Structure 1
Amino acid sequence: MSIKGSLRSRSLTSTPSSILKRPKTLVHRLSEIRNKPTEVKFELTKQLKCIFDGYVQKTESKEYEKLVIMIRDAKLTDADISSILKEINECISILDQKFRLFVEAILSIEWTSRGSEVIEEYQVFIVNLLSAHTYHAKMVIDKLVKLFFPGPDDSDWEDGVPADEDCAKCINVHALFNSLLSEVPMCQAIFVSSLYSHFPYYNKSTHIHEYYLHNLLWILEYRPNLRPEILNLIFSKLIIMDVNAPREEIEKYLNADEEMFLMDEETKSIKSSTTAFTQVNRHALAHTLDVCLDKIFNYFVSECHDSQTKEIIWEKAKNLYLEMLPIFDRLILPTYDIHHVQFIMFMMTCFKTTITEGFLNYLWKKVCNLNVAPVLRQAAVNYIASLVARSNFVPLAMIKGTLQQLAEWIHSYISSQDGFEYVNSDIRSHSVFYAVCQALFYIVAFRYKDFVQSKKNIVFLQSLNMAKMVTSRLNPLRVCQHAVVQNFAAVTRKYQLAYCYSVIEHNSRNTLPVIYLDEKGTTVTSDNTLNTFFPFDPFILERSAKKIEPFYKEYQEADESAETVMEETSEVDDFLLNEFPNSSKNKTQKFSYGSSPGFKFK
């Protein structure tokens, strides 16, 4: 048989086996190639300069491509990396934008855990590269900032203390950033922008946020000039967490007597809510906020106090407070109904009485400034009332000064309205006035025990002329929150400062809703009650609350002996039979209640 016939017969006899064997699909072949372990051995046949010259001249581009693949895929030893870096530093002037792929390959090298010599050479290369070619700055800085995230197999930190291996990794990255910002100052703007863009999304895990936040605060040790921008970044993100972790959800979870902030995703008792973009685990988010605030509180305390004597360092505390004021003004004050982030200002005011006085004056100037939006003026006076009522470090003289300011402003406003033939008590027209009145009522109801111990202080309360306030044609008792009005009325009646019950009874019989069109033309029905919140209501996060609790004043219920016995024949007195909360009622634990304004009733 000829060779041709032999080949033909062989192909025919092999046909049945090819039919029986199922052919491999393209997807299957690609998966085999992808899953096949590849061992790329790093070996240079030419000097890097020769390879670069050939690539620039377009004579030997394959050598350049092979080099990039080897650096990216090969298992490089310390000696390999060292030899590459030494050769690169000799020809770094030609590494312009045409060599972007090569620079990306160098950035893909895991260098932070190498020997000290390799780490130093790598840091020198990065600084030299960006000094010569700022084109690569964004790519390099973004790659380095990504090292501020934990690895997928990294374990959580115990009690917020970083692991040794994480510290060893991060210290090398920060050393490089410190050198880079010193040698190439124009990289600072790119650096800050990268920190903003890489901040973890609020739905990420607690450890990712803790790891990234720890590194942000670490930057402040060697770049204190960046502190205003970094603090602005931190608080803008923490506010988003705070808004998405409602107090009501946390309280429901705490009242269920379960372990706080369970992190098991399979636990059905954890409530999640789905937005248009993602599913949010509210309790896990609250735990993340708790951990982050605890770290922030620790930073503020350590930054403002001597590590040995624990005494306050006034210059540092003053500078930090002045840096926080614009952040408070821009981010915290305009955000309605946040629950925890604003306590950073509460904690700062407890450092020194001078800061407390300065913060109260700052808020009061905003209240009195007619050029400020009314909603911000109301927020400012709410901060004043809540800080004075809830802090145990504000001296009595400062409380009296605050009440004096509020009372003088109220009487001045009332006098300005007396000349009008008709006074409209609509809350929209006098929102700031009602907010100031409620602030005064709140402070008096909350701190009256500080005044009734001496006749002199009772005389001071009488001098505020609160009777004129409550009988004003503007009728603040109708607009203010019911809980504030009840407690204020009980205190002022007991100590004969004002008699509010006749006005309250009249208001109870005139509760018609107000209907109006808003700015969009929508019909709105209002009960004409001041919609407000007190920002320093009880702090309910577990870990970070330990920093707040020593300086925080809980609402103290009146004793049985202090209750006022009302006349049985009086209809007005029957309206508020239980003017004080019953002290025999079981009290909730500290930081477990907080519905504004913080009073409790039967």
Structure 2
Amino acid sequence: MVGPVSYLTCSMTRTSVLKTMASKKLAQPLQVRFDSLVTIDVVSILKDYIEGRSDVKYSQLLNLKNDPHVNDAFLLLILQQVNNAISLLVPKVEQFVYALLNISWTSRPPAVLDEYLSFVQTLVSAHTYYCKPVVKMLVSNLTLNPDTELATRHAHDLLRRILELIPLSQRIVLDSLNDCFPYIGSGCTEQVNYVRNLLMFAEYHVTARSYILNIITGRMIKLDSRVPIEDLLKSFGLTINLDNSVNNQAVQTLDEMMKVMFELCNAKCRSDWDVHRSFYYDMYAAFESLILPAVGIHHVHYLMFYICSTKPILYETYIERLWTMFQNPSSPLNIRKSSADYLASFLGKAAFVPMKVVNFCLERVCKWIHAYLDRQVKGEGIAVFKIRAHAAFYAACHIPFYVVAARHHDYLGNKKLLTELQALDLTRIVSSSLNPLRYCHATTVRQFAESASHLQVVFCHTIMIRNQRVCLPEATTDTFVMETEYPFEKYLLPMSMNFVSSLVIDKPIGRDDSLYDSDQVMEELLSESPRVGGFMHHFLG
């Protein structure tokens, strides 16, 4: 019994050893294997494969895909032979070409690097068929720092040459730049480097600048929507401790991108007027198509704010365009409302916009509101009780309400400005049958009422009390209240804050008086006011 057991044990041991060795071999990555590197003839291998004589050695060449860090000497040997026979790289051997494009080349010795770059340029020149994979390979390396990494300069040089050699490749390049943008959850450095490289690309390919700015703006909007604004508000004025959470990574990445973009804006706005104006139009196009329709963002639009601060003609054009979009009845309601919000916030918070411009704009807005009310009086407008159908009217009312509250300190004590403000006939607006004090944003209404009564322009508290006391039948109650966002309230990103901090009016909105208590005033008026009721009384006053 001893013999068989010993034999069986030996057999099992031998079998396990063989399995272990086999598993180790399978675990090792496939590498390029040739008997002699000196005698390898890539041209003959490719010819044999193309003509159908042999594919064994060609299959070995394809193992380059599994070994992107192939030996420098072997890679140099292949590249030298391929560059001398570039015409052989027909679509039939595309897998071999893709294997070469997949090789890591950014940290190679100068001799290998020069040969590889020559291969890429010659390949695209001779075979436009490979333009798309070549461009994608080059763009994938744009996550490196353009200021320190030599590889990014080589990538840009090749992209420039490709665009010169093949003008129709522009669409391929632009699509690749958009598609290869690092994942939104990837590291801050990787995304910011990519943005820097995109801007570098736009410098030598100026016709694509608008498209590039759209790509960058789109990414920043996505990041801005991820920023935890409540946490930033709590940390405002303090050092923000960024941990590894997704939200804080979004804050850091967006802050770095905004800093890069502000630096770009500063450089362009210090250039000659043609460059300055062209850049303004490109940025405004991105604002109108991407930023204006977006919701839940708090920082990206400050790029436009900063650019407008550089010349009066720019902020005047910006104001005019916002007002034109609001007035256009064919514009979607969300665009009209957003235009009104941006206009109100811009007039109320832009320290570089003089009060004569603010009052001129309020005059135009109030003229539109009065014309709207005139149509209602003549019976030409929408029925009063269809509150939601008057959303554009309430959006327009937010403009004078917010601006008067935000610019309260500028009006105070200035008789000329107060006279112009009184001429707007705000009393007719607040006491109209459409009742904007009820259906506009509650905080804006309260701040406006405080400021307007302090400036003795219009007194709103009586109407506000009536709105609180009104009793409507449950079946006809409309709970609609116009929600609004004022985009230029406060900039909260710490590293890029210094670009805009001096441009935004940083004063309390409404009446800043420690002896004045709005809630107490409302309580006193509420206690003295008789109870109001009835459906028709609400509309007839």
Q: Which residue identity lines up with residue 215 of structure 1 in the other structure?
A: N
Q: Classify the secondary structure of the residue corresponding to 2:488.
A: coil
- Separation in structure 2 between the aligned mates of residue 575 and residue 106 of structure 1, nearest angstrom: 86
Is this contact kept in 2: 1:216–1:230, CA < 8 A? yes
- Separation in structure 2 between the aligned mates of residue 541 and residue 515 of structure 1, nearest angstrom: 47
Q: Which residue identity lines up with residue 464 of structure 1 in the other structure?
A: L
Is this contact kept in 1: 2:139–2:180, CA < 8 A? yes
The correspondence for 1:379, drawn from 335, 338, 342, is 338
Greater mean alpha carbon deviation, residues 441-450 or residues 238-247: 238-247
Confirm whether residue 346 of structure 1 aligns to residue 346 of structure 2.
no
CA deviation vs aligned residue, 1:303-325 (integer Å, no higher than 9, x gap): 2224xxxxxx3211211111122
Specify every segment of 5 or more residues in structure 2 that has no aligned partner in the other structure, as ranges. Answer: 530-541
- Separation in structure 2 between the aligned mates of residue 466 and residue 145 of structure 1, nearest angstrom: 57
Greater mean alpha carbon deviation, residues 405-414 or residues 130-139: 130-139
Is this contact kept in 1: 2:401–2:448, CA < 8 A? yes
Is this contact kept in 2: 1:514–1:528, CA < 8 A? no
The correspondence for 2:444, drawn from 474, 480, 484, is 484
The correspondence for 1:452, drawn from 391, 399, 412, is 412
Residues 531 and 237 (structure 1), Cα distance of their counterparts in 2 relative to 1, 3 Å cut: same
The correspondence for 2:492, drawn from 518, 536, 540, is 540
Confirm whether residue 97 of structure 1 aligns to residue 50 of structure 2.
no
| 2:124 match | 130
Confirm whether residue 207 of structure 1 aligns to residue 189 of structure 2.
yes
CA deviation vs aligned residue, 1:261-298 (integer Å, no higher than 9, x gap): 423x4xxxx5xxxxxxxxxx222222221112221221
- Separation in structure 2 between the aligned mates of residue 530 and residue 179 of structure 1, nearest angstrom: 54
How far does residue 301 in structure 1 lie from its aligned partner after superposition?
1.5
- Separation in structure 2 between the aligned mates of residue 539 and residue 305 of structure 1, nearest angstrom: 23
How far does residue 208 in structure 1 lie from its aligned partner after superposition?
1.9
| 1:226 match | 208
Q: Which residue identity lines up with residue 177 of structure 1 in the other structure?
A: L
Residues 65 and 565 (structure 1), Cα distance of their counterparts in 2 relative to 1, 3 Å cut: closer
Confirm whether residue 414 of structure 1 aligns to residue 373 of structure 2.
yes
Is this contact kept in 2: 1:477–1:485, CA < 8 A? yes
Residues 20 and 562 (structure 1), Cα distance of their counterparts in 2 relative to 1, 3 Å cut: closer
How far does residue 350 in structure 1 lie from its aligned partner after superposition?
0.9
Greater mean alpha carbon deviation, residues 106-115 or residues 218-227: 106-115
How far does residue 436 in structure 1 lie from its aligned partner after superposition?
0.8
CA deviation vs aligned residue, 1:344-396 (integer Å, no higher than 9, x gap): 21111112111100011001111111111122111101110101111110122
Confirm whether residue 286 of structure 1 aligns to residue 268 of structure 2.
no
How far does residue 503 in structure 1 lie from its aligned partner after superposition?
0.6
- Separation in structure 1 between the aligned mates of residue 85 and residue 223 of structure 2, nearest angstrom: 48
Confirm whether residue 550 of structure 1 aligns to residue 502 of structure 2.
yes
Q: TM-score, normalised by structure 1?
A: 0.79
How far does residue 210 in structure 1 lie from its aligned partner after superposition?
1.3
Q: TM-score, normalised by structure 2?
A: 0.87
Is this contact kept in 2: 1:40–1:70, CA < 8 A? no
How far does residue 124 in structure 1 lie from its aligned partner after superposition?
2.6
Q: Which residue identity lines up with residue 245 of structure 1 in the other structure?
A: V
1:512-551 mapped onto 2 (5 Å cutoff): 527-551=479-503
Residues 552 and 372 (structure 1), Cα distance of their counterparts in 2 relative to 1, 3 Å cut: same
How far does residue 189 in structure 1 lie from its aligned partner after superposition?
1.1
Residues 53 and 39 (structure 1), Cα distance of their counterparts in 2 relative to 1, 3 Å cut: closer
| 1:403 match | 362
- Separation in structure 2 between the aligned mates of residue 231 and residue 240 of structure 1, nearest angstrom: 14
Q: Which residue identity lines up with residue 142 of structure 1 in the other structure?
A: K
1:187-336 mapped onto 2 (5 Å cutoff): 187-252=169-234, 254=235, 260-263=240-243, 265=244, 281-306=246-271, 313-336=272-295
Greater mean alpha carbon deviation, residues 409-418 or residues 317-326: 317-326
| 1:600 match | none
Residues 548 and 231 (structure 1), Cα distance of their counterparts in 2 relative to 1, 3 Å cut: same
CA deviation vs aligned residue, 1:170-191 (integer Å, no higher than 9, x gap): 1111111111111122222111
| 1:592 match | none
| 1:34 match | 27
| 1:111 match | 105
RMSD: 3.3
How far does residue 66 in structure 1 lie from its aligned partner after superposition?
2.9
Is this contact kept in 2: 1:511–1:527, CA < 8 A? no
Greater mean alpha carbon deviation, residues 468-477 or residues 560-569: 560-569
How far does residue 83 in structure 1 lie from its aligned partner after superposition?
4.0
| 1:520 match | none
- Separation in structure 1 between the aligned mates of residue 258 and residue 319 of structure 2, nearest angstrom: 23
| 1:60 match | 54
How far does residue 554 in structure 1 lie from its aligned partner after superposition?
1.3
- Separation in structure 2 between the aligned mates of residue 511 and residue 73 of structure 1, nearest angstrom: 78
Residues 298 and 47 (structure 1), Cα distance of their counterparts in 2 relative to 1, 3 Å cut: same
Is this contact kept in 1: 2:340–2:396, CA < 8 A? yes
Residues 509 and 354 (structure 1), Cα distance of their counterparts in 2 relative to 1, 3 Å cut: same
Specify every segment of 5 or more residues in structure 1 that has no aligned partner in the other structure, as ranges. Answer: 1-9, 151-161, 271-280, 307-312, 517-524, 577-602
Confirm whether residue 435 of structure 1 aligns to residue 435 of structure 2.
no
The correspondence for 1:355, drawn from 298, 314, 323, is 314
- Separation in structure 1 between the aligned mates of residue 308 and residue 107 of structure 2, nearest angstrom: 43
Is this contact kept in 2: 1:386–1:534, CA < 8 A? yes
Name the structure with the higher helix share: 2
